[in-house]
Amino acid sequence: MAKTKTINKIKDSGSDRVFGIVNGTILTIFTLLVLYPIYFILSASISDPTYVNLGETFLFPKGINFLGYEKLLEYPTILRGFANSVLYTVSGVCIQMFTCVTCAFALSRKELPGRRWLNGFFVLTMYIGGGLVPSYILYRDLHILNTIWVIILPTALSVYNMIVCRSFFMSNISEELFEATKIDGGSYTTFFIKVVLPLSKAILAVLVLYHALAHWNNYTSALYYLRDSRKYPLQMVLKGLTASLSSDVQDMGMDAKAIADKIKAEQAVRYAIIIIGSIPVFLMYPFVQKYFVKGVMVGSVKG
């Protein structure tokens, strides 16, 4: 006879079930509060602005049209700004990841001479800065104003992210692995490339996301240090476009219909601008989501 196996499951108590229901309800509410603004903006960007103003797109888009996106295509500066942002983001992330990870690895090694003083020096830079005017004078004297380097070099190293990465190395890369590498004749470089990096995918993915978001949303650097509009990132281009649409409406004559149509176009473009500026973030996050919790928790809590 075939033996039948019985699995004794631990039954949840009444209080556990109540806690699960309450916890699930609260998390669901918070999730909806976070997701609904994104959904509303997407819905409004493809709805007739008249229905948006009347509040009739609360749940579903109405009068579906792509007026905002069509208007955006009329501005060639959008594509140029998008390309500039991609260039700044990719270049900045590559430089930041190189400096951040190599610096974190060096400071995670206890045999590094002056390690404590170097750690203190890096932490000090997080609290002391020269300010806007001294920074502008420095960049001017370095001849990097109005160049790609004024966007990338000042943020070449994020000390906070470096500390997180260093903590991850200290907590998750055992000393025995380094000893084994030395026995096999490997150097620090071999240990770093062949052992540390493959075991640190979680924290590396999180750092790529952090650095990419910082560069993609960087607006103030371009505002302060760039004068050539052809080098503006997407954020600056969208800001200028929004301002020009508002001024166009104010400068129009008394033709009520023309003013109404212009206002509708402006509102549609505003929502489309938000979606266009957010697309790269939405596309990037799913690729690092599985590493996100592990990388953040291990890298920031320990060490």
pLDDT tens-digit series, residues 106-154: 999 988 898 889 988 998 988 887 788 888 999 999 999 999 999 999 9
Q: How far apart are CA 165 and CA 177, in angstroms?
A: 18
pLDDT tens-digit series, residues 211-256: 998 898 888 889 999 988 889 998 888 887 777 766 655 555 556 6
Res 145: pLDDT: 92
Single-letter code of the amino acid located at 220: T
User: 87 pLDDT exceeds 90?
Assistant: yes
End-to-end CA distance of the chain: 57
Which domains are seen in the chain, by residue range? 16-65 (no CATH), 69-301 (1.10.3720.10)
- Per cent of the chain over pLDDT 70 is 83
Of 81, 78, 62, whose CA–CA distance to 70 is shortest? 78
Of 269, 138, 297, 139, whose CA–CA distance to 203 is shortest? 297
Q: Once rounded to an integer, what is the mean pLDDT over residues 86-92? A: 93
pLDDT tens-digit series, residues 172-217: 888 888 888 888 888 888 999 999 998 888 888 889 988 998 898 8
Res 132: pLDDT: 86
Please, which pLDDT band fits residue 90 given cuts at 50, 70 and 90?
very high
Res 274: pLDDT: 81
